[in-house]
Amino acid sequence: MSVRRAGAFILDSIMAEMKERTFIAIKPDGVQRGIIGEVIKRFETKGFKLVGMRMVHASEDLLMQHYIDLKDRPFFPTLMKYMTSGPVVAMVWEGKGAVKTGRVMLGETNPADSKPGTIRGDFCIDVSKNIIHGSDSVESANKEISLWFKDDELVSYTSCAFSWLY
C-alpha cells in the first residue's frame, strides 16, 4: 500500500469514527417533566451534532420491535404501558464515540446507581421512570435509528464547530 493510499485509509477511518451515530429517546416522563431542552443542551455542549429529531406517540408495534430483547421479562407489560403513555422525543446524535459517551452521560439504568452530573443522576429517582433511553452499542444504534427514522429524515451537514472539536 502506498503512503498516499495509507494516509487516505487512516483519514477515512478517522472521519468514520467522528460520524458515529447514537439513538437517544426522551421517554414520556421526561417529556412531561419538561427536560427536553436540558437533554439537548447537554449533548450539544458536549460537542455532539443533532442530525435527527421528532416527537411521536410511539405505536405498540414500534415499541415491540425496539424492545424485542425484553419481551420475555416480567416488567415488559409495564414498560409497554409506560412507553405508550405519552409522547417520546426520538433523536439521532453524531460524533466521535457518540454511543459510549452518550451512555455515560445518561447514567446507569437504575437512577439510584447513577452519579450526580448524569442525566439520570440529576433527574430520576425510580428505575421504572428513568426518563431517557440511549443505544448500548453501535449495532443497536444502527438498528434503533432505522426503526425510528427514515433515511431522508436524517440531515447530513458540517457544523461550524467541527474544527474546534476535532
Task: Determine whether the annotation assigns residue 130 to a binding site.
Answer: yes
Q: What are phi and psi of 118, to 5 degrees?
A: -90, 160
Q: Which residue in the list 98, 133, 134, 141 is annotated as catalytic?
A: 133
For CA atoms 23, 36, 64, 156, give the dihedral sign. Answer: negative
The answer to whether 133 is a known catalytic residue is yes
Task: Determine whether the annotation assigns residue 73 to a binding site.
Answer: no
What does the block give as the cell for 115?
452519579
Task: Determine whether the annotation assigns residue 120 to a binding site.
Answer: yes
Task: Determine whether the annotation assigns residue 100 to a binding site.
Answer: no
Task: Determine whether the annotation assigns residue 4 to a binding site.
Answer: no
Find out whether 100 and 107 touch, Cβ atoms under 8 Å. Answer: no
Strand order in the sheet with 49-56: 49-56, 88-94, 21-26, 132-134
Task: Determine whether the annotation assigns residue 19 to a binding site.
Answer: no
Note the Cα 45 to chain centre separation in Å: 15
Binding residues for ATP: 27, 75, 103, 109, 120, 130
Q: Which residues are catalytic?
A: 133
